[in-house]
Amino acid sequence: MNTYQPATPYSDSIIRLDCPSCGMRMNLFGIEAGKPGHELHTFVCPRCEDIETAVAKAP
């Protein structure tokens, strides 16, 4: 598993999800543009590699 630098200067303020499969804190994997004023945050679990996405307001 690779470790990456934060995706944006605001990555520390992004609330990380707990993995629904194993309960471990998930890592932010990527941020994509969504609907105007929103972003799609993708998280991956370092333990079981489960992937979750969440929609958030853009900074």
Tens of pLDDT, residues 46-57: 999 999 998 888
Q: What would the 3-class secondary structure string for 11-42 be?
A: HHHCCCCECCCCCCECEEEEEEECCCCEEEEE
How big is the CA angle at 26 (ends 50 and 38), to the nearest 5 degrees? 95
- Domains, the chain: 11-57 (2.20.25)
> What's this model's pTM, rounded to 2 decimal places?
0.73
- 1 or 31, which is more confident? 31
3-state secondary structure of 51: strand
The whole-number average pLDDT for the span 4-26 is 76
